[in-house]
Structure formats: C-alpha cells, structure tokens
Amino acid sequence: MSVRLVNISKEFADPERAGGLMLAVRDMNLEIGEGEFVTLLGPSGCGKTTTLRMVAGFEIPTKGEIWISDEMVNDVPPNKRDTTMVFQSYAIFPHMSVEQNVGFGLELKGRPKAEIREETAKVMEVMGITELGKRRPDQLSGGQQQRVALARAVVNRPRVLLFDEPLSNLDAKLRETMRVEIRRIQQTFGITSIYVTHDQAEAMTVSDRIVVMEKGLVMQVGTPFEIYSRPNCRFVADFIGKVNVFPVTVTAMDGDIRVRDPRGMEIPAGSADAGVKTGGDALLMVRPESLRLGEAARESEGGGRAGGEAFGEGLVTKAVYLGSVIEYEIDAGYEKPLMAISHDPINGEFYKVGDRLPFSFSKKAAHVLPKR
Amino acid sequence: MTESRSSRAIGAFRRIARDPLLLIISIATLLSLIVFVAYPLLSVLIQSLKTDGGYSLATYIDVAKSAYLRKAFYNSLMMSALTALAGTLIGFAFAFAVTRANVPLKRLFNIIAVIPIVSPPFIGALAIIMLFGNNGLVTWNLLKINNFPIYGFNGLFLAQVVTFFPVAYMTMKGVLESMNPVLEDAALNLGGSRFKVFARVTLPLAVPGIASSILLLFVETLADFGNPLILAGSKFPVLSVQAYLQIVGMYDLPKGAAISVFLLVPSVIAFYLQRAMVRRKKYTTVTGKPQASSGKIVSPGARGALFAFCLAISLLVGLIYFSILLGSLAKVWGYDHHLTLDHYKFVFGVGFKAVRDTLMIAGIATPIAGLFGMVIAFLVVRTKVPGKKLIGTLSILSFAVPGTVIGIGYILAFNHKPLALTGTLSILLLNFVFRYIPVGIESGTAILQQIDPSIEEAAVDLGADARRTFSKITLPMIVPAFFSGLVFAFVRAMTAVSAAIFLVSSRWNLMTVHIMSQVESGNLGAAAAYSVLLVLIVGAAISLIRLILKARYGRFGGNMLHF
C-alpha cells in the first residue's frame, strides 16, 4: 500500500518555549510507494519518531493529511489503521507466551484458532523462533525479543509496517545481523515499510530510500547512494558519515564543473547540487575513503588520469591504526586538516606523523554543495 | 493558534467517537463521581447556609460566637499539630533505627510499627481506657487511683500518637530507604563527624519527607473520630465529635454542617499541600534501589538510645494489644479478671449480625472500589478522554475530606427523593466504594507509570480497542498491584467508623460502630472481643491475599503487599 504525507505539521505544547509550542514536524511531504522500504533518518529530536507515530495514529497531525492507499486516515484511530509497529522497547506483552504474543493481532481480528496457529507457526518459522513458542518473554534474550516483536507485527500482514529504532537496544554484532534480517523479512512479505533510526549505517543497509530530517524539516530524500555521495547540503553530508568540506569559488558550471580552492588551485568536480551557481561561493566535499594516498596518488600527479584528478601534498598530523584501515589527518594548507582512510594496511604503505603524504581524488569523488 | 486548538479538539472528539465505550465509561465515571462525591459535599455547604427559609452566614456566625465550639476548633488544630509532630518524630526514630542504625530486634520493630495500620483506628483509645480509665488496670487495680484524669488532652494525645505514628514510619522508611547511604559514607569519608553527617546530609535530604509526613498525620488526626469520641470527654471538645453530636444528639443539621465545614477547610488545605510536596519530592530525594547502610553513621551510644526508645514504644504498643486481648477474656474488666469466653459467645451469638454485615459490606464494596479505581487510573494516566482531570480531582477528593464530613454529606444528600437511601445497604456500599476508590487509583497509577506505555500502544496498534487493551493487556499486568490496593481498601473498610457511624441503621450495622456503642455503655469486654475478632479477620485477609499472589506471581507477587 502506498503512504502519502501531505503538508503535515505537528505542534506539541511546550510551556518552556516562547509561544508555548514546539514544532516537531513542519510541512512535511512524502510519498512512499507500494512495497517500498523508506527510512526516516536524523538526530534525536528531528521529528522522525513523531512522523512515524502520526502514521501509526498515536499522534494526530496539527495540520495536513495522511493517506494510506486511497484512504485519508487522520481520524482513524490506531487500532483501525492496520499499520503495525515494531517498538524500540519491543513492547512484548510480559504476561503472554511467545506464541500468544505473535498470535495476538490475529486473535483480535477474530480469526479461527486453527488459522491463527498456522499463520503464527509460519511466521515464527521464517523468523527462526519456532522453538521459543512456549517461552515467557522474560526468558528471551534481546535478539530473540526483537524477532518476536517483528513476527508479531508481520503476522498481521499490515498495510504498513512501522519500525521505531528497533535495533537501538541490541549490541553491535546483533544489530548487523538483525538489519539484514529485517530487510530479508520485508522483501519476503513485500510489506510497505517505514523505518526510523539515527544510525546511518543501519539506514543504508535496509532502505530503498532515505529521508534525512533535521529540526522537523525534510532535508533530502533519496536512495542510499544519492544521500551518501550526492548530498544536497552540508548537514546531510556531515550526518551520513565522515566528510571533508572546504570553501571554494565556482568557476564553471556548463558541461564541466570546476571550482577554485582557497589556495588558487583549480579542481574538477563530478557533480554539483542544483543550488550551486557559476561565480558563487560554494563548498566542495570529498569523502575520506575517496582520497588516494602515496604511490597511487603520484600516478595522477599533473592531472594524469582521464578527466583530470585533483592532486596535492600535505603533512601527516595524525595516524590511527584501526586494524582494517588506517585513518590519517593531513595538513594540506586548508582551514581544517583533511581526513583520509587507507584500506588494507597490510598490503599498503604506512605513514607516520610528520611524513609528507601525496594525495589525489577523482573528479567523480568531488561534489559541490551550496554554501548555506 | 485557537483555530488549531479547536481543530485538535474536534480531532480528539472524532477519535473518541470511534471508540464509544471509552466515552461512555468516562461519562459514567464522571457522573457517578459528581453524584456520590461532589453532591454530598455540596449538600453540606448548602445545609450550613440554611437559615429559616433563606440562606445566610448566620449559622457560621453562631458557631464562631460559641466559646465552646471555638475551643473545639482550637483543640482540633492544636491536637492535630502536636500529634503530627510527635508521631513524625517517633516514626522517624523507628525508621532511622530500622534502616540506618542496625539496632537489635529491628524486624520486630518493623512489625510493631505496622500493626496499628491494619487495626481499627480507635483500638488505642479502647486500650487506654482499659489501662488508665476509671476501672483501669494500672490506675485502679495497681495504683488504686480513683478517677484518674485520662479523659481529655492526655489520653487523647497518647491514643492518637500510638494510632498514627505508624503512618509516619511508613513514609519515613520509604524516604530513608530511597536515600543512598553511600552519601552518608561519602560525608564520613570526607572527615565529617557522625553528628555533622546526620545534621548536614541525612536530615536535609529527609526534610521533604518529614514535612510531607507531618502534613499527612495532621490530616489523619484532624479527621480522626473514634479516639476522640471515646477519650475526648466533654471538657476537651474537638470538631469531628462536635459535628457528630450536633447532628445525632441535637438534630441541628445546619450547625453540624457548619462545624464540619470548619473541619473540612484545614484538612483539604493540608491535604493538597502534602500532595504538592510529594509531587516535588521526586526531585529532592535520591532515587534508586534500596541499598544496605553500612550503619557507620550511628555511634554505639546513639544506637543504644535509639534501641531503648524503640523498645519503650514497642512495649507500649504491645501492652495495648495485650490489654485488648486480656480484656476480651476477663469477666468484668477492673473488678473480676477471671478468664471467660462470655464476650466471644456474645459476639458470635447475639452480636454476630454486625460481623456478617461488616464482612459483606467490605467484601462487596472493596472489589468494586478497587476495579473502579483501576479504571479511573487507566483513564487518567493512559487515555486522552476529555474531563479526565476533573475525574482525577473528584476521585481523590474523598481522600482529603474527613469521614465525618462525608458521612454528614451522605445523610443530607440521600435522605430524600430521587435518591432516598438512608438506612439501606446501598448507602453504606456506595459510601465505601467512593471512599476507597482513591486506594485503587493510587496503586493503579503507581504501577501504570512503571509499565512502558508502548506495551499498550502495541496492543492498540495490533487492532485492540480501549476495552480489549484494558482487559487483555493492562489489567493482567496490574493484577498484583490491584490486589495489594484491594487489601488496603479492605482494611480501611473493615476499620472505618467516622463516616459509617452516620449511615448505619438497625437493619445494617458495622462491627466498628458496635464497638463504639459497647464502649459508650461501659461494656469493655464485648468491645475488646469485637476488636480482637476484627484484627484477626483483617490479618487473615492480608495473609490469604499474600499467599494467593505468591502462588500465582511468585516472589514478585508476594512483595506487592507492603504490609
């Protein structure tokens, strides 16, 4: 089922604020297609959970309309919306067994006992919790509770499946397993899903599209690739992973995109946001892992590679060995040191603090952001 | 903004209209609270303003002009304040001894300090009459003093302190237990002397709890009826008894009503002050798991003094219960102390109807009150029904109002059509139900605030309406707290006297009222026998519920009962 949010805003009373109101969500518009998996991503307090709870019906928008399929659901109470949620705290009913928890939604719908048993068993099988059926919730581990919560939501075949930071209470390893699981289950049943998280890696793994939010506003909507490599503003670029950003002047926008950095060097860029104009001030962003270092960079000295590649040298000011990668900070004469990541250290070169390090980055890796 | 507010109100209304049961229940709850809580109180106010055909303040002026009633007002306030201070002091000493000082016999002290809570509130007065009265064991039989002046201030003060210090003990114990003793250890570690640590750390942290306990005791003592009816005597008038005498003795309804308004106002003020403090207390006392105290902040000398003090009070409490037991078995108290079962034969024979009535009324009223209280707690804590604030305020009101005032309100409100209920079983049941709803609300609210709301949201999300969410999810989770509240309500109902004394009739009587009238007619043995039976019934009920909860919910369930 498709979900449409049309111009929705949500105000909360907040006596501590001037005017007594807190705007949690402002004029939000979003269309989610049938079977699509969309993630609302943003820092805490950005309005993502409020939006999710409005779709579930626990909050009513102050303005705007929420459509599920072709029904306007603003006045439909949560129990009649047919949207099921996986809660952050799991919200497993403590006085019911695992089976009873999973079957509860079907029981409420008045399905015959045999059908409930069959459906419950089927979903529990897919979730890998068949043998936990008779257990009580307090005998389950965090990961098992998570699976029960997911099974309980999925078994109803809801119109929309909602996830409220479902993995935030799990340890790092389990989180990685579960996000793949969630994606698999969603694909298996093909249920339209909205997922809320503040963890960008989680968002990248599970989503078809990501909605980045900040202070109640939608900043950008796009596929994980678009959000990561072609952000439309500094906030999104910063929020999704590490990034090098430095001020530039745009020198050309027709066909080739070229910018001039503060030291006067001309740099070719692969893409630019729509808000960027020739002659204006802008920001150039390059992800740390896109910097080529050492010998690999030397090859492109003088713009050697096809399409041109930016090249520079700097002093290593910090080198942190993390096992799978080495993280460097390089003073290349910009306001802030450049961050760089060198992969596969065991087959590559090591640099120490104080070493001179050549670096380069491709035109594709350079993206121009509006200066806001 | 007003536009969005009104559209929000319309949205809320539309949603509630989709769940009509919730709306019906909240309207029914509100209506019943208005009829059985607000209307009786309003009747008292109206009655107090009635003067020959019109309305005026004449009765109030009358009351204020009477030197005797002015004295009653003064006595009531003075006695309540003194009892509150003394009771809190003793309660604090007990709580400190049990939680911090690691004194010997601390388990016993804990039990001694809890027993009076589950006993009829006038048992102290009864025992004091038996020990120090005209035929008292101590004064007459041992010291051969005739007419020892026990009636009036001395006796009443003693009785009320013994009756109410346990309330302070429970409050102070909670406060001291939730205060992390590591703070005291840290202060000692910084080089403070024991006294300095107590004065600069323990006491300041306990101050909000102490103040709240003083106010609580003030309210309870002011509302106390049983002790003063037995012990105050005519030379030491107090308001609750004077209001009763005006109505039952002189049939002067306006005057009785006016006196009870004088009683009502300070009670309600103190009650709401106390609630406001408790709400703030959340920030002032340090929360956390109860932790064992190292007991290092009490010097051996202080420990000895605390122990002696607690032992003395415990002996007094023990003496009270012992004398009641002895009195129930003695042929004629003060003259013939041969053991006999005559008084019990009377109680189980001629007087057994009162026992049956009491059990039936408490047995019917408390589950209803408990369930009703839970429903209200659910409405107030978890739903967005309109008028829920009013529901909360009205239902708590019957806690703040002295029983005497409620009793008078009920006879004024329900002695004529359309609700002519005086003398019936219904009026007693209704009174008990609406009087003990707050017990259910308090325990329901406490437990609901501990349950993650998303558990109920999950049920709604899966398609449950309000009724099914409550019956299938909320209720099963709060059952232990429900029973715990139920026991407390049952104890209060079994031992209540102040409101009920106005509502009993020849057809329906209560044990407590019987005890009062046996005392009045000098039949102490029968009064004692009734009291022993009452304590046994209450004790049995508590043990039974505790056993059931333990069997059904394990250790967790057993711990829900804080007696």
pLDDT of residue B129: 87
Is the pLDDT score of B284 beyond 50? no
Domain CATH number, residue A357? 2.40.50.100
C-alpha gyration radius of chain B: 25
Is the pLDDT score of A208 beyond 70? yes
H or E element: which one contains B362? helix B352-382
pLDDT of residue B507: 85
Asked if residue A248 and residue A229 are part of one domain, the reply reads no
CA distances from B369 to A308, B413, B433 (A): 82, 21, 5
pLDDT of residue A306: 47
pLDDT of residue B562: 41
CA distances from B248 to B226, B256, B496 (A): 15, 9, 18
Are the beta carbons of A264 and A289 closer than 8 angstroms? no
pLDDT of residue B12: 57
Bridge partners, residue A257, by sequence: A269
Percent of residues in chain A assigned helix, strand, coil, to nearest 5: 30, 35, 35
Round the average pLDDT of chain A to a whole number and report it.
Answer: 89
pLDDT of residue B520: 84
Burial class, B343, CB count within 10 angstroms (exposed 0-12 / middle 13-18 / buried 19+) = buried
Q: What are phi and psi of B562, to 5 degrees?
A: -95, 35
Asked if residue A144 and residue A45 are part of one domain, the reply reads yes
Q: Check residues B18 and B222 and name the one with the higher pLDDT.
A: B222
Asked if residue A254 and residue A201 are part of one domain, the reply reads no
Assign A171 a pLDDT band (cuts: 50, 70, 90): confident
Phi-psi region of A19 (alpha: psi -120 to 50; beta: other; left: phi over 0): left
SS (H, E, C) B471-535: HHHHHHHHHHHHHHHHHHHHHHHHHCCCCHHHHCCCCCCCHHHHHHHHHHCCCHHHHHHHHHHHH
Are the beta carbons of A142 and A174 closer than 8 angstroms? yes
Total number of domains in chain A? 2
Asked if residue A250 and residue A230 are part of one domain, the reply reads no
Q: Checking DSSP bridges between strand A271-272 and strand A367-370, what pairing results, if any?
A: parallel
Domain CATH number, residue A78? 3.40.50.300
Assign A108 a pLDDT band (cuts: 50, 70, 90): confident
Asked if residue A259 and residue A203 are part of one domain, the reply reads no
Q: Reduced to 3 states, what is the DSSP secondary structure of residue A269?
A: strand
Q: Checking DSSP bridges between strand A338-343 and strand A3-13, what pairing results, if any?
A: unpaired
pLDDT of residue A43: 93
Assign B11 a pLDDT band (cuts: 50, 70, 90): low
Q: Check residues B62 and A331 and name the one with the higher pLDDT.
A: A331
Q: How far apart are CA B41 and CA B45, in angstroms?
A: 7
Burial class, A273, CB count within 10 angstroms (exposed 0-12 / middle 13-18 / buried 19+) = middle
Asked if residue A204 and residue A282 are part of one domain, the reply reads no
Q: Check residues A263 and A355 and name the one with the higher pLDDT.
A: A355
pLDDT of residue A63: 93
Residue at a domain's end among A183, A208, A234: A234
pLDDT of residue A35: 93
Is the pLDDT score of A29 beyond 90? yes
Asked if residue A361 and residue A214 are part of one domain, the reply reads no
pLDDT of residue A301: 63
Asked if residue A222 and residue A135 are part of one domain, the reply reads yes
Are the beta carbons of A83 and B25 closer than 8 angstroms? no
CB-based contact, A357 to chain B, within 8 Å: no
Asked if residue A120 and residue A210 are part of one domain, the reply reads yes
pLDDT of residue B280: 62
Counting residues of chain B whose pLDDT is more than 90, the rounded percentage is: 20
Partner residue opposite B4 with nearest CB, options A11, A80, A94: A11
Asked if residue A38 and residue A75 are part of one domain, the reply reads yes
CATH of span B25-47+67-558:
1.10.3720.10
Region B168-195 average pLDDT = 77
Q: What is the dihedral of CA B169, B170, B173, B175, to 10 degrees?
A: -110
Q: How far apart are CA A44 and CA A215, in angstroms?
A: 9
Bridge partners, residue A244, by sequence: A286
Are the beta carbons of B78 and B152 closer than 8 angstroms? no
Best of A104, A136, A139, A160 to mutate (most B CBs within 10 Å, chain B): A104
For residue A88, the chain B residue with the least C-alpha distance is B454
Are the beta carbons of A74 and B10 closer than 8 angstroms? no
Region B537-552 average pLDDT = 82
Cβ of A80 within 8 Å of Cβ of B14? The answer is no
Nearest C-alpha neighbor of B431 from the set B30, B41, B26? B41
pLDDT of residue B285: 34
Partner residue opposite A156 with nearest CB, options B7, B452, B462: B462
Asked if residue A123 and residue A13 are part of one domain, the reply reads yes
Best of B454, B462, B471 to mutate (most A CBs within 10 Å, chain A): B462
Region B525-544 average pLDDT = 89
CA distances from A178 to A142, A183, B267 (A): 11, 9, 58
Partner residue opposite A94 with nearest CB, options B4, B460, B477: B477
Assign B286 a pLDDT band (cuts: 50, 70, 90): very low
pLDDT of residue B248: 86
For residue A77, the chain B residue with the least C-alpha distance is B15
Domain that holds residue A317: 243-370
pLDDT of residue B553: 64
Is the pLDDT score of B559 beyond 50? no
Nearest C-alpha neighbor of B343 from the set B105, B530, B135, B118? B530
Query: Each residue of A46-95: pLDDT tens digit?
Result: 999 999 999 998 888 999 999 999 899 998 888 888 899 998 888 888 88
- How close, in Å, is residue B285 to chain A by CA atoms? 24
Q: Checking DSSP bridges between strand A309-321 and strand A325-331, what pairing results, if any?
A: antiparallel
Q: Check residues B97 and B137 and name the one with the higher pLDDT.
A: B97
pLDDT of residue B483: 81
Q: Where are the domains of chain B?
A: 25-47+67-558
Asked if residue A205 and residue A128 are part of one domain, the reply reads yes
Region A254-276 average pLDDT = 85
Q: How far apart are CA B552 and CA B422, in angstroms?
A: 41
Are the beta carbons of B228 and B240 closer than 8 angstroms? yes
Burial per residue of B278-296, b for 16 or more beta-carbon CB atoms within 10 angstroms, e otherwise? eeebeeebeeeeeeebeee
Round the average pLDDT of chain B to a whole number and report it.
Answer: 82
Counting residues of chain A whose pLDDT is more than 70, the rounded percentage is: 98
- How close, in Å, is residue B533 to chain A by CA atoms? 38
Q: Reduced to 3 states, what is the DSSP secondary structure of residue A345?
A: helix
Are the beta carbons of B483 and B549 closer than 8 angstroms? yes
- Crossing angle of helices B153-178 and B106-114, in 10° steps, is 120
Region A159-178 average pLDDT = 89
Q: Check residues A353 and B483 and name the one with the higher pLDDT.
A: A353
Q: How far apart are CA B245 and CA A215, in angstroms?
A: 67
Counting residues of chain A whose pLDDT is more than 90, the rounded percentage is: 50
**Whole-complex ipTM:** 0.76
Is the pLDDT score of B446 beyond 90? no
Region A175-194 average pLDDT = 91
B256 C-beta neighbours (distance < 10 Å), count:
30
Is the pLDDT score of B385 beyond 80? no
Assign B3 a pLDDT band (cuts: 50, 70, 90): very low
Cβ of A85 within 8 Å of Cβ of B458? The answer is yes
